[in-house]
Amino acid sequence: MKILFATAEAVPFCKTGGLGDVCGSLPVELALRGHQPIVLLPAFRQALESGQPIERTGIEFEVPIGGKPVRGTLLRSRLPDSNVPVYLVEQPDYYDRAELYQEQGSDYNDNCERFVFFSRAVLEVIEQVAPETELVHCHDWTTGLVPAYLKTLAGRNVDFSQIASLFTIHNLAYQGTFWHWDMELTGLDWKYFNWQQMEFYGQLNFLKTALAFADALSTVSPTYAQEIQLPEHGCGLDGVLRQRAEDLFGVLNGCDYGEWNPATDPHLARQYSVHDFSAGKAACKQALQHEMGLPEIADTPLLVMVGRLADQKGLDLLATLIPQYAERGEVQWAFLGTGDPKYHKLLADLATRYPKQVAVRLEFSNPLAHRMEAGGDLFLMPSRYEPCGLNQMYSLRYGTAPVVRSTGGLADTITDASDQAMSQGTANGFSFSEYSPEALGATLERAIALYRNPDRWRQLLLTGMQQDWSWSTSAERYGEVYRETLARVALAV
């Protein structure tokens, strides 16, 4: 099957979150199964400076943006250790910037125009590079107009109406909403600016556009697919998603064990596997404590957290609990990430007040993220919502027990260490349901108590380390979704 991935991120070219991991890994796994994927993304400065080999194709194109012609060129590369082609849409005025979507916490004010251009470029690439494309797999709001263009624009050499579209929601909270007059930039007829298709409370909404026009929809875990059809997690679009429930698939993301494997990880103080993890983790914990400036105490539980510092991630719950634990000196905390300035200040203040219990790095460092996974005893993900989550999968392989709120992909991957689950050998972490400091605190108490029981703790870690959350199963499921989507389009013609 010939599939074009339209995405704003793909590892190792550019990334701000899990989207980049998915679009850098899934195409490779699909290629191993006989599919023929290509990846298309903007030529962001981050991508051009990624160190990947990139060459010029000589292919140029021009698309109308709000009545003015804008030119672009195509660059070419490929995903590492694969034959999957990557095409990058070069337009320096739009993409040669310090960040992908925003700077200093503020979105670029021409984001609508930037991603209208990219969406139009998808059709140009089909015309000039991939006319045999059978399905376009679109990812998140930045590609939300692509399904609409496929349905409404006529190709010069390609019948776009014959090409199927699958739109994947990685995080429904990010929708791409803009001033209604930006509809002029899209080149689409104003008749589509209505409450059933592109309009959302008086604004132009890219993600809603995709929900209306795509042939099929997916999201990144089965539980999240159900949650987003409810008002609590539907972000105002739950009604639209309920209407399209039969077209919505929940496919769990996978873990790239080529990148996240403690047996081969070059960033660790000592590599280890499921067969010899006790000594390996002990060495990695000591090294991490030293690196983070914490006392090197082997039997003190080390709780780690890596990622975006935001309300979504449960930082408000931890803000209540950390001082209580720090006063007692029972555990150590280590944080890595950037995000909301209020959490930068909160964590920095805690690290100053409790230097022997709390350590913080307000940055993103991939090598340090690996060392956190290996050196921690417990990995914290008390999220308000979590479409899929990948760090809990990394943690399982690294023998670091996840502590999660049972939501989205966290509910689909983590089995709580209840007495029953422990006796059945299915427990791989700790989870709680109610979003409150009390519920998280009670779960941490259970986790610390189990940590003090070496035999049961070892059993818990072994269960997690032996589980397979690789892309293999996910890619197989996506193949099924592609075939079903193509069948639907064929029937509709």
pTM score:
0.92
- Specify the pLDDT at position 236: 97
Determine what percent of the chain is predicted with pLDDT higher than 70.
100
- Specify the pLDDT at position 241: 98
Average pLDDT, the chain: 96
Query: What is the spatial distance between Cα 224 and Cα 173, in angstroms, rounded to a whole number?
Result: 12
Q: How large is the C-alpha radius of gyration of the chain?
A: 23
Domain 277-468 falls in which CATH fold?
Rossmann fold (3.40.50)
Instruction: Identify the band that residue 400 occupies on the pLDDT scale cut at 50, 70 and 90.
Output: very high
SS (H, E, C) the chain: CEEEEECCCECCCECCCHHHHHHHHHHHHHHHCCCEEEEEEECCHHHHCCCCCCEEEEEEEEEEECCEEEEEEEEEEECCCCCCEEEEEECHHHHCCCCCCEECCEECCCHHHHHHHHHHHHHHHHHHCCCCCCEEEEECHHHCCHHHHHHHCCCCCCCHHHCEEEEEECCCCCCCEECHHHHHHHCCCHHHCCCCCCEECCEEEHHHHHHHHCCEEEECCHHHHHHCCCCCCCCCCHHHHHHCHHHEEECCCCECCCCCCCCCCCCCCCCCCCCCHHHHHHHHHHHHHHHHCCCCCCCCCEEEEECCECHHHCHHHHHHHHHHHHHHCCCEEEEECCECHHHHHHHHHHHHHCCCCEEEECCCCHHHHHHHHHHCCEEEECCCCCCCCCHHHHHHHCCCEEEEECCHHHHHHCCECCHHHHHHCCCCEEEECCCCHHHHHHHHHHHHHHHCCHHHHHHHHHHHHCCCCEHHHHHHHHHHHHHHHHHHHHHHC
> 398: buried, middle or exposed (CB in 10 Å: 19+, 13-18, 0-12)?
buried
Q: What tens digit of pLDDT does each residue of 265-304 get?
A: 999 999 999 999 999 999 999 999 999 999 999 999 999 9
Q: Is the pLDDT of residue 493 over 70?
A: no
Residue-wise over 142-177: b if at least 16 C-beta within 10 A, else e? bbbbbbbbbbeeebeebebeebbbbbbbbbbebbbb
Q: What is the CATH number of domain 2-254+472-492?
A: 3.40.50.2000
- Specify the pLDDT at position 311: 87
Query: What is the spatial distance between Cα 292 and Cα 211, in angstroms, rounded to a whole number?
Result: 45
Q: What is the CA angle 464-466-471, rounded to 5?
A: 95
Residue whose token pair is 């698309």? 63
Q: Is the pLDDT of residue 25 over 80?
A: yes
- Specify the pLDDT at position 308: 85
Q: Is the pLDDT of residue 48 over 70?
A: yes
Q: Which residues contact 159 (CB under 8 A, 6 or more apart)?
A: none
Mean of pLDDT values over 351-367: 94
Q: How many Å separate Cα 366 from the centre of its chain?
A: 15
Q: What tens digit of pLDDT does each residue of 296-321 get?
A: 999 999 999 998 898 899 999 999 99
Query: What is the spatial distance between Cα 190 and Cα 358, in angstroms, rounded to a whole number?
Result: 55
Query: What is the spatial distance between Cα 146 and Cα 63, in angstroms, rounded to a whole number?
Result: 14
Q: Which residues contact 79 (CB under 8 A, 6 or more apart)?
A: 10, 24, 27, 28, 39, 86
Instruction: Identify the band that residue 442 occupies on the pLDDT scale cut at 50, 70 and 90.
Output: very high
Beta bridge partners of 405: 432
- Specify the pLDDT at position 491: 82
Mean of pLDDT values over 251-267: 95
**437 preceded by cis ω (within 30°)?**
no
- Specify the pLDDT at position 250: 97
- Specify the pLDDT at position 52: 96
Residue whose token pair is 């509709």? 492
Q: What tens digit of pLDDT does each residue of 70-116 get?
A: 999 999 999 999 999 999 999 999 999 999 999 887 899 999 999 99
Instruction: Provide CATH 3.40.50.2000 ranges for the chain.
Output: 2-254+472-492, 277-468
Q: What tens digit of pLDDT does each residue of 159-211 get?
A: 999 999 999 999 999 999 999 999 999 999 999 999 999 999 999 999 999 99
Q: Are 260 and 394 in contact (CB under 8 A)?
A: yes
Mean of pLDDT values over 432-445: 97
Q: What tens digit of pLDDT does each residue of 111-156 get?
A: 999 999 999 999 999 999 999 999 999 999 999 999 999 999 998 9
Q: Is the pLDDT of residue 325 over 90?
A: yes
Mean of pLDDT values over 234-252: 97
